[in-house]
C-alpha cells in the first residue's frame, strides 16, 4: 500500500482544493472484485448514494456560506464544495456504466432523489428562523455522515484485502482517491457545524438521525443491487453474516467497528482529526493515477 | 442519470422491485421530514443563544519587519516578528503567509525559515519588474520597523514524510523546500535536493542547503534542465516534491511516468493565467448593476466584489461550483465541465468563461 510507513499526524491549516480527476470505466467488469458479487455490490452502494448525496451536501453548504463569519473556515468550505462536486460526478459515471452492463440503478436513485430533493430539500412557507435552523441541522447531518466517509476513506486507504482479491485497479483508485480526499477534508463539516452551533445536542441529533438512516439506506442498496444484477438471478441475498465474512477477508469494513466508530462521534471531546492520517491521505493523492493525470491537464 | 422527474407525493414513488405498491420506508421518511423540518426553530430544536460564538480561526497577525537583506541577486530575505516579542503561531514545512502590504496589495510567500524558531518568520522575495508591483514594493519600500498585517500560516504544500525524497527546486521555488529538507534531515529520511537556477548569483540559500548535507544537494546552473534530467535521481518509490516556475512543473509531470518515482507533490495555484482575455461587461439580473470585467480579470472575481457570498471553488472551470444562469448575451465558454445541452440552457462558469470584446452578459444573480 502506498503511504504506509508514514507517521500518523495532523496537518494544520491545510489549503483544500478540488482535483480534476477522470476515470475510464470502459474496461470495468460488473463484479470488479472477481467472484465476489456480494462485496462488490456492498461497495457499489456508494455509487448509488454519493451522486445525489454529495450534490445535496453542496446545496446545504452553499446555503450555509452567508452564515460563515470566519475567513479560513469559508475558504475550507469552498474547497470542500468543489471536492464534493467532483466526487458526485465521478460516482455518477460508474452508475452509467452499471446501466450499460444491464444493471439498472434508476429505481433506487429515484428514491434517493426524492429523499435529498424533497424530504431534505428546500421547503416553502418557513420563517427566517426555521430556514436558518434547517440549514444548521442539515450541516449537522452532513457532519455526522462525513464522520463515516472519513472512516470509510481511512479503511479504503488501508485495505490490502482488496488488492489481494485483485479488485479492478481503476475502481480501487476511485475509492482511494475519494477516500483520501474525505480524510483530507474530514474536519470541515464538523468545524462548520460547531461554528454555526456549538451545542452538543445538535451534534448528537445529527448522528442520531443520519447514522441509522445511512445504515438503512445501505442495507436497502445492497439488497437492491443484488436483486437487480442480471447475472445473479436473485441467488445471493445479503446478510450480516456474509458482511462479517467479507470483512474478515479484508474486502469490507467490519460492521462492528463501523458501529463503534459511530459511537465515538458522540464522545464529548471528539474531533475528526482524531481519526485517520492526513499524511497518509496526502501521500496517496500524490501517487493516485487519476490525481496524477489531473495534474497534467 | 435522469432524476428530474419526481412524483407529486411519496405514495406515488415507485417500489424498488417493481411491485404495485408504495414504498413504506420512503413514505415514513417523508412523513418524518414533514414534521421535523417545520419543528426546527422551536424550543429545544434551535441554537441556544447562551452559547458563545466559536470562531474557527484566530485573527490575523500584525508583525514588524525585523530583517531586510539581499540574499542573492534580485532576492531579499525578510524577517517578521511580533512587535512585543511574543511567540508566533506554529507552522509546518510547506506553509505560506499572506502579507497585506502598505499599498493594500496582498501577496503569498512560502515560509523558508525553521519551524523551530518561534520568534520570527522568514520569507524570500524575488524582484519581478513585470509583476503586479508587490515584489517591487517589498524590495524598495519596506524597511525595518514597518508593520504588516499577516494572515496566519496556511499549508498548500504539506510534507508527508515519505522514506525516499527527491526535492526539485527552480529558482525562488527553493523557499518551501528548504524547511522540507531540514525536516527530512531531522527525521533521518533519505532525501536529495536538485536546485536549478539561471546563474549562481541569482540562487539564494545555496550555502544554507549545503550546510544541511553537502552530498544531498545538487545544483544545476545556467540552463533549463529537462524533466528527465530533473528526475534522474529518482529511485523506485521516491516521492517528488517540486516547486518552481510553471514550465518546470509541467516538464516534471510529463517525465514522471517514465521515471521510477512513485509520487508527485506540488503546490497548486488556483487560478490559471487568463489567455487572450478581452474586456467585457456583466450585469447582475435583468435590471441590476453593470460591472466591467477587465481583460486581465475573471468575471468571477468581479462578481464576488459585488456579491461576496457567491460560491466558487476550483477557479479553473472544472468543478462547476460557481455556475450561474445566463439571461442574455453571447459567452465565450472556457470551462471543461458543462455539456453542450447545459450551455444551450444558459449555464455559465464565470471563473474561466468570458465574452468577446465589448460584449454584455446579463446574469441571473
Q: What is the pLDDT of residues A273-287, one digit of tens each?
A: 998 999 999 999 999
> What is the side-by-side strand order in the sheet with B106-110?
B106-110, B95-100, B147-155, B61-72, B75-81, B120-126
Categorize the per-residue pLDDT at A295 as very low, low, confident or very high, splitting at 50, 70 and 90. low
Rounded to whole angstroms, the Cα distance separating A171 from A151 reads: 18
Verify that B231 and B262 share a domain, yes or no: yes
Domain limits at B29? 11-35
Claim to verify: residue B123 and residue B195 sit in the same structural domain? no
Tell me the C-alpha distance between A73 and A143, whole Å.
14
User: Dihedral of CA B210/B211/B213/B215: which sign?
Assistant: positive
CA A120 to CA A130: how far, in whole Å?
A: 14
Instruction: Tell me which H or E stretch contains B96.
Output: strand B95-100
Q: Which helix (H) or strand (E) holds B319?
A: none
How much is the pLDDT for A242?
94
Torsion angle, CA of A56/A57/A59/A60, rounded to 10 degrees? 120
Check residues B3 and A54 and name the one with the higher pLDDT: A54
Q: Does the pTM of the predicted model rise above 0.90?
A: yes
B182/B260 same-domain check: yes
Could you tell me which residue, B272 or A38, shows the higher pLDDT?
A38
- Cβ atoms < 10 Å from Cβ of B343: 16
Q: What is the DSSP letter of A14?
A: B
SS (H, E, C) A161-182: HHHHCCCCHHHHHHHHHHHHHH
Is the per-residue pLDDT at B64 higher than 60?
yes
Residues of B in contact with A276 (CB under 8 A): none
Domain shared by B182 and B89, yes or no: no
**Residue B273: pLDDT over 80:** no
Residue of B nearest to A72 (CA): B57
* Interchain pair B266, A295: CB under 8 A: yes
Residue A275 to residue A264: CA distance in whole angstroms: 10
Please report, for the domain that includes residue B319, its CATH number. 3.10.20.30
Residue A8 has pLDDT above 50, yes or no: no
**Residue B294 and residue B328 in one domain:** yes
| Total domains in the fold of chain B | 4
Q: Does any domain span residue B275?
A: no
Query: What is the Cα–Cα distance from B118 to A271, expressed in whole angstroms?
Result: 26
Coil/strand/helix, residue B280: strand
Q: In what order do the strands lie in the sheet with B217-221?
A: B217-221, B190-197, B164-170, B239-243, B263-266
Query: CB atoms < 10 A from the CB of A123, how many?
Result: 15
Residue A1 pLDDT grade (very low, low, confident, very high; cuts 50, 70, 90):
very low
Residues in B closer than 8 angstroms to A114, CB to CB, are 6-7, 10, 13, 26, 30
Which residue, chain included where needed, has cell 412557507?
A: A125
**What is the spatial distance between Cα B131 and Cα B273, in angstroms, rounded to a whole number?**
13
Asked if B235 has any chain A CB less than 8 Å from its own CB, the reply is no
Output the pLDDT for position A7: 44
Task: Give Cβ neighbours of residue B246 (< 8 Å, ≥ 6 apart).
Answer: none
Domain ranges of chain A: 37-291
Q: Is the pLDDT of residue B272 over 90?
A: no
Residue B285 gets the label, from left (phi > 0), alpha (psi -120 to 50) or beta, of left
Contact A157, A281 (CB under 8 A): yes
Binning pLDDT at 50, 70 and 90, where does residue B131 land?
Answer: confident
Nearest CA to B92 out of B116, B68, B109 is that of B116
% residues pLDDT > 70 (chain A)? 96
Kindly report the average pLDDT of chain A as a whole number. Answer: 93
Put simply, whether B100 touches A (Cβ < 8 Å) is no
Taking each continuous run of H as one helix and of E as one strand, the counts in chain B are: 8, 18
Residue B54 falls inside a structural domain: no
User: pLDDT-based confidence at A228, cuts 50/70/90?
Assistant: very high
Question: What is the distance, to the nearest Å, from the Cα of residue B160 to the centroid of all Cα atoms in its chain?
Answer: 18
pLDDT tens sequence across B210-253: 999 999 999 999 989 999 999 999 999 999 999 999 889 989 99
3-state secondary structure of A290: helix
Q: How far apart are CA B356 and CA A49, in angstroms?
A: 41
**Nearest C-alpha neighbor of B126 from the set B179, B198, B180:** B198
Domain boundary among the residues B132, B155, B178 is at B155
**Buried b vs exposed e over A46-72: b needs ≥16 C-beta within 10 Å?**
bbbbbbbbbbbbbbbbbbbbeebebeb
Q: With an 8 Å Cβ cutoff, is B132 touching chain A?
A: no
pLDDT for A2 equals 38
Place of cell 438521525: A209
**Do B20 and B75 lie in a common domain?**
no
Of A65, A114, A194, the CB nearest to B311: A65
Query: Residue B198 pLDDT more than 50?
Result: yes
- Please indicate, yes or no, if residue B227 is contained in any of the structural domains: yes
Instruction: Name the residue among B337, B193, B56 with its Cα closest to residue A189.
Output: B56
| Under 8 Å between Cβ of B131 and B137 | no
Mean pLDDT of chain B: 92
Identify which of B38, B266, B314 has the shortest CB distance to residue A130: B38
d(CA A104, CA B306) in angstroms, rounded, equals: 45
The pLDDT tens digits of the residues spanning B135-191 come to: 999 999 999 999 999 999 999 999 999 999 999 999 999 999 999 999 999 999 999
Average pLDDT of the residues in A73-88 = 95
Q: How confident is the model at residue B193 (pLDDT cuts 50, 70, 90)?
A: very high
Instruction: Provide the pLDDT for residue A6.
Output: 40
Nearest to A295 by CA among A19, A23, A79, A80: A19
Pick from B242, B266, B290: which residue ends a domain? B266
Question: Of A16-25, B30-39, B47-56, B294-303, which gets the smallest average pLDDT?
Answer: B47-56
Q: Please report residues of B whose CB lies closer than 8 A to that of A65.
A: 309, 311
Average pLDDT over residues B105-122: 95
The neighbour count for residue B44, using CB atoms within 10 Å, is 7
DSSP letter at B105?
Answer: -
Q: Tell me if B2 is assigned to some domain.
A: no
Reading across the β-sheet that carries B324-328, which strands appear in turn?
B290-293, B280-284, B360-363, B324-328, B347-348
pLDDT of residue B84: 95
**Residues A209, A215, A218, CA angle at the centre, nearest 5°?**
130
| Residue B92 CB burial class (10 angstroms; 0-12, 13-18, ≥19) | buried
Q: Quick one: DSSP state of residue B149? A: E
The answer to whether B364 and B324 are in contact (CB under 8 A) is yes
> In the predicted model, is pLDDT for residue A3 greater than 70?
no
- Cα(first)–Cα(last) distance of chain B, in Å? 28
Which residue in B has a C-alpha nearest to residue A114's C-alpha?
B6
Q: Show residues of chain B in contact with A2, CB under 8 Å.
A: 262-263
Does any domain span residue B55? no
Q: How many CB atoms lie within 10 A of CB B53?
A: 8
Give the gyration radius of chain B's Cα atoms: 26
Q: Does residue B331 belong to any structural domain of this protein?
A: yes
B152 to chain A, closest Cα gap in Å: 9
Q: Which residues of B touch A98 (CB under 8 A)?
A: none
pLDDT tens sequence across A40-51: 999 999 999 999
Spatial distance between the Cα atoms of A229 and A104, rounded to a whole number of angstroms: 8
Inter-chain CB proximity B41 and A130 less than 8 Å: yes
Kindly report the CATH number assigned to the domain that includes residue B121: 2.40.30.10
Q: How far apart are CA B301 and CA A198, in angstroms?
A: 33
B232: number of Cβ within 10 Å: 14
Give the pLDDT score at B50: 87
The phi and psi torsions of B4 (rounded to 5 degrees) equal: -80, -25
**Assigned domain for B52 exists:** no
**SS3 category, B181:** helix
Q: Is B318 on the interface with A (CB under 8 A)?
A: yes
Per-residue pLDDT reduced to its tens digit, B4-42: 578 878 777 878 888 888 888 999 999 999 999 999 999
Instruction: Mark whether B295 and B319 lie in a shared domain.
Output: yes
Q: Write out chain A residues lying below 8 Å of B92, CB-based.
A: 11-12
Task: With beta carbons less than 8 A apart as the criterion, state whether A92 and B337 touch.
Answer: no
B260 part of a folded domain: yes
The per-residue pLDDT for range B86-101, each reduced to its tens digit, is 999 999 999 999 999 9
Is the distance from CB of B13 to CB of B22 less than 8 angstroms?
yes
**CA separation for the pair B254, B259 (Å, rounded):** 10
What ipTM was assigned to the predicted interfaces of this complex?
0.90
Residues B74 and B18 in one domain: no
Q: Which CATH number fits the domain that encloses residue B216?
A: 3.40.50.80
So what's the pLDDT on residue B271?
67
**pLDDT 10s digits, A116-166:** 999 999 888 999 999 999 999 999 999 999 999 999 999 999 999 999 999
Amino acid at each position: 500500500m502506498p503511504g504506509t510507513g508514514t507517521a500518523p499526524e495532523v496537518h494544520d491549516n491545510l489549503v483544500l482544493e478540488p482535483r480534476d480527476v477522470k476515470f475510464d470505466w470502459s474496461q470495468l467488469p460488473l463484479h470488479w472484485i472477481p467472484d465476489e458479487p456480494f462485496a462488490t455490490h456492498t461497495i457499489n452502494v456508494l455509487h448509488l448514494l454519493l451522486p445525489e448525496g454529495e450534490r445535496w451536501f453542496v446545496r446545504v453548504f452553499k446555503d450555509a456560506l452567508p452564515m460563515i463569519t470566519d475567513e479560513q473556515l469559508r475558504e475550507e468550505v469552498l474547497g470542500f464544495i468543489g471536492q464534493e462536486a467532483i466526487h458526485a460526478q465521478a460516482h455518477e459515471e460508474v452508475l452509467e456504466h452499471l446501466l450499460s452492463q444491464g444493471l439498472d440503478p434508476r429505481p433506487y436513485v429515484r428514491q434517493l432523489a426524492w429523499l435529498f430533493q424533497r424530504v431534505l430539500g428546500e421547503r416553502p412557507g418557513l420563517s427566517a428562523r426555521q430556514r436558518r435552523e434547517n440549514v444548521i441541522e442539515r450541516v449537522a447531518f452532513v457532519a455526522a455522515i462525513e464522520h463515516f466517509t472519513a472512516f470509510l476513506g481511512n479503511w479504503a486507504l488501508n485495505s490490502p484485502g482488496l488488492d489481494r482479491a485483485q479488485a479492478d485497479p481503476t475502481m480501487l483508485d476511485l475509492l482511494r482517491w475519494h477516500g483520501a480526499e474525505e480524510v483530507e477534508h474530514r474536519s470541515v463539516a464538523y468545524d462548520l457545524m460547531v461554528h454555526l452551533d456549538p451545542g452538543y445536542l445538535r451534534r448528537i441529533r445529527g448522528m442520531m438521525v443520519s447514522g441509522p438512516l445511512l445504515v438503512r439506506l445501505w442495507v436497502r442498496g445492497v439488497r437492491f443491487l443484488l436483486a437487480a444484477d442480471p447475472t445473479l438471478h436473485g441467488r445471493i441475498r445479503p446478510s450480516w453474516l456474509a458482511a462479517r465474512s467479507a470483512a474478515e477477508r479484508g474486502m469490507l469494513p467490519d460492521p462492528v467497528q463501523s458501529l463503534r466508530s459511530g459511537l465515538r462521534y458522540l464522545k464529548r471531546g471528539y474531533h475528526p482529526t482524531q481519526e485517520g492520517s492526513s499524511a497518509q491521505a496526502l501521500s496517496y493523492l500524490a501517487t493516485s493515477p487519476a490525481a496524477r493525470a489531473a495534474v497534467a491537464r | 442519470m435522469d432524476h428530474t422527474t419526481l412524483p407529486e407525493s411519496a405514495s406515488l414513488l415507485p417500489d424498488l422491485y417493481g411491485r404495485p405498491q408504495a414504498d413504506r420506508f420512503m413514505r415514513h421518511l417523508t412523513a418524518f421530514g414533514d414534521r421535523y423540518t417545520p419543528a426546527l426553530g422551536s424550543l429545544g430544536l434551535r441554537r441556544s443563544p447562551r452559547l458563545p460564538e466559536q470562531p474557527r480561526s484566530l485573527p490575523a497577525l500584525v508583525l514588524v519587519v525585523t530583517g531586510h537583506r539581499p540574499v542573492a541577486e534580485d532576492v531579499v530575505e525578510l524577517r517578521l516578528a511580533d512587535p512585543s516579542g511574543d511567540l508566533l503561531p506554529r507552522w509546518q514545512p510547506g506553509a505560506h503567509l499572506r502579507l497585506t502590504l502598505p499599498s493594500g496589495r496582498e501577496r503569498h510567500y512560502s515560509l523558508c525559515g525553521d519551524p523551530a524558531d518561534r520568534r520570527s518568520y522568514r520569507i524570500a522575495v524575488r524582484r519581478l519588474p513585470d509583476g503586479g508591483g508587490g515584489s517591487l514594493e517589498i524590495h524598495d519600500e519596506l524597511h525595518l520597523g514597518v508593520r504588516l498585517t499577516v494572515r496566519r500560516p496556511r499549508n498548500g504544500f504539506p510534507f508527508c514524510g515519505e522514506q525516499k525524497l527527491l526535492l526539485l527546486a527552480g529558482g525562488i521555488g527553493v523557499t518551501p523546500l528548504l524547511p522540507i529538507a531540514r525536516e527530512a534531515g531531522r527525521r533521518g529520511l533519505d532525501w536529495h535536493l536538485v536546485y536549478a537556477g539561471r546563474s549562481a548569483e541569482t540562487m539564494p540559500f545555496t550555502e544554507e542547503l549545503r550546510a544541511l548535507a553537502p552530498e544531498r544537494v545538487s545544483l544545476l546552473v545556467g540552463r533549463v534542465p529537462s524533466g528527465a534530467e530533473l528526475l534522474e535521481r529518482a529511485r523506485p518509490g521516491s516521492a517528488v516534491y517540486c516547486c518552481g516556475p510553471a514550465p518546470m512543473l509541467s516538464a516534471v509531470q510529463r517525465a514522471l511516468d517514465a521515471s521510477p518515482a512513485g509520487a508527485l507533490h506540488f503546490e497548486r495555484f488556483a487560478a490559471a493565467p487568463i489567455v487572450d482575455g478581452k474586456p467585457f461587461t456583466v450585469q447582475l439580473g435583468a435590471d441590476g448593476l453593470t460591472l466591467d470585467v477587465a481583460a486581465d480579470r475573471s468575471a468571477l472575481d468581479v462578481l464576488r466584489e459585488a456579491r461576496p457570498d457567491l460560491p466558487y471553488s476550483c477557479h479553473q472551470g472544472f468543478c462547476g461550483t460557481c455556475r450561474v444562469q445566463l439571461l442574455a448575451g453571447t459567452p465565450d465558454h472556457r470551462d471543461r465541465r458543462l455539456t453542450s445541452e447545459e450551455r444551450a440552457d444558459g449555464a455559465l462558469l464565470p471563473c474561466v468563461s468570458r465574452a468577446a470584446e465589448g460584449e454584455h452578459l446579463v446574469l441571473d444573480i
